[in-house]
Structure 1
Amino acid sequence: MTTRRTFFKKAALGTLALSWAGSAMAWDKIIPLGWGRILPPVPADEAGEPFRLGLAGYTFVNFKLDPALEMMRKVDVKYLCIKDFHLPMKSTAEEIAAFHAKLKESGVTGYGVGPIYMKTQEAIDQAFDYAKRVGVDLIVGIPEVSDLPYVEKKVKEYNIRYAIHNHGPGDKIYPNAVTVHSYIKDLDPRVGLCFDIGHDMRYGDDPIADFQKYHKRIFDMHLKNVTSATHDGKTNELGRGVIDIPELVKTLRKVKYSGVCALEYEKDMKDPLAGIAESVGYFRGVLDASRKS
């Protein structure tokens, strides 16, 4: 008997096999990255979707850039949010150019930087200068609440979007989407959220409902699943947790989310490839199966 759950599992396994072989690129499919930017073609699995699948740089905290890019090639993911352990904030113009050249060799685009903790206005200045020199229009940041007017000032000065990351029940400042939105709702519309659905669920909230409610201010997403909707919930493979990923995909399409769904895989971080591949395969399997249902 084929249940809804086994249907998606079978679809995910089939897509996963294609990922390992290297899926074909939809070279005629070029889509915008908000605020006027254009990105290269997306993998065929994502062609026709308003959003893209990417990887959060923190996934590779235990790896240098070359092995991280090798893993991205193996699962055919084309978008990376850049962390400063791969491209230090004090990098020279030559180092930044070499970094982008290396990404291009792997067919990868760096679409944003962060998360970056910013305890002072000087740190905010450094982050905006860094993003400008790297050539991205998105900073994922964690500022002090008292510095939000200064963040807004820099957003206007640089025309670079700023997305505040929520970190769940252990974060006393930005635990969930509701709290972040309460701080930014009256600020420039280029100040928004990097919505971590796993941490939102661990806080006890409904990340799918929150995504639908706040989608106009969500510029980036940390895509993950968790074992339970509690403080002690752990990150796991995308198809194994308590977040309903098929329903999330339905919501992304409904609101026409045009940002990146950046998989942040935090389980087995010293040996993450199998979990990344399973999660990528599951997500693409859901995309494929839901188109046919």
Structure 2
Amino acid sequence: MSQTKNNRRDFVKKSILGTVGGVVLAGSNLKAETLPFAKPADLKLAFAGYTFKNFDLDETIKMIQKVDVNYLCIKDFHLPLDSTDAEIASFHKRLADADIKGYAVGPIYSKTQEALDIAFDYAKKVGVDMIVGIPSIEDLPYLDGKVKEYNIRFAIHNHGPEDKLYPNATVIMSHIKDLDERIGMCFDIGHNMRDGHDPVADIKKYKSRIFDLHLKNVSKAEADGKTVELGRGVIDIPAVVKMLAKTNYEGHLAMEYEKDMKAPMAGIAESVGYYRGVVDALG
């Protein structure tokens, strides 16, 4: 890692600890606590590609580099489903040159079996081992066969009270509990909270089937709650991080920032800084 990147990371950490850290983190009783399990610093911070829906790949890469994050869940507006092998190779090179890895694809809305076929073929060509998606409930048996055929995991995304299929983690689990263990969830803690469910409790309860996690905060635990900067909402982010460490979570924490999406950089930087302050305080 270059000295410039080290300096930037040190600045972000010191800023968050010196400004909001003394208030928010002290309130969570983190400073003197030693955790007898996996270290929060080992958790992998990433971005959900949807964060950058208003930006092309070059702009997206520049923003990700500014906050020194190294993982991206690939959205099809950056790498279309019908991309050629050459286009996929070029895409990966552009990420690699920026020290970023595309670790999964999605979310992909897969309302038919044909759409699931396309999603799995796409993931195989892209070279990732996980699809984040939203399949029809009636196609779950078909999905069960696809994960066995391709050995690619499928993480179902919950979208809150507006989502008639998968509003929260509990509903997802009720549908997949008897299916192949390569079918799990991309757990969106914000949407889960808006649907009245505790994300910390659900991480503990469903840990074995949480493959990916959308990291965000919301203004209130109601349907009309809005995404806000990570340290400003009603979700106890330090408690989320502690539970992920305690359960030895091995997936990514994909930050999905949906406020000011045409000019998100200030909120992204604040949120990443807050997260790193929490991780530093936990030790």
For the Cα contact (< 8 Å) 1:138–1:162, is it kept in 2? Answer: yes
Matching residue of 1:259:
251
For the Cα contact (< 8 Å) 2:41–2:280, is it kept in 1? Answer: no
Taking structure 2 as the reference length, the TM-score comes to 0.87
Matching residue of 1:97:
89
Letter in 1 for 2:267: G
| 1:245 counterpart = 2:215 | no
Matching residue of 2:163:
171
Matching residue of 1:209:
201
Matching residue of 1:4:
none
Measure the CA separation in 1 of the matches of 2:104 and 2:200: 23
State, as a whole percentage, how many aligned pairs show the same letter. Answer: 64
Measure the CA separation in 2 of the matches of 1:278 and 1:272: 10
For the Cα contact (< 8 Å) 1:12–1:283, is it kept in 2? Answer: no
In structure 2, stretches of 5+ residues that fail to align are 1-10, 18-37
How far off its partner does 1:290 sit?
A: 1.4
Structural mapping, 1:178-257, within 5 Å = 178-257=170-249
In structure 1, stretches of 5+ residues that fail to align are 1-10, 18-45
Taking structure 1 as the reference length, the TM-score comes to 0.84
Measure the CA separation in 1 of the matches of 2:65 and 2:123: 25
The match for 1:73 among 37, 41, 65 is: 65
| 1:109 counterpart = 2:108 | no
Measure the CA separation in 1 of the matches of 2:69 and 2:91: 17
Structure 1 runs of 4+ off > 6 angstroms? none
| 1:279 counterpart = 2:271 | yes
Letter in 2 for 1:129: D
CA spacing shift, 1:288–1:53, aligned 2, 3 Å? same
Measure the CA separation in 1 of the matches of 2:163 and 2:15: 36
How far off its partner does 1:12 sit?
A: 6.8
How far off its partner does 1:50 sit?
A: 3.9
Matching residue of 2:80:
88
Structural mapping, 1:114-133, within 5 Å = 114-133=106-125
Structural mapping, 1:29-44, within 5 Å = none
For the Cα contact (< 8 Å) 2:40–2:242, is it kept in 1? Answer: no
Q: CA RMSD in A?
A: 1.8
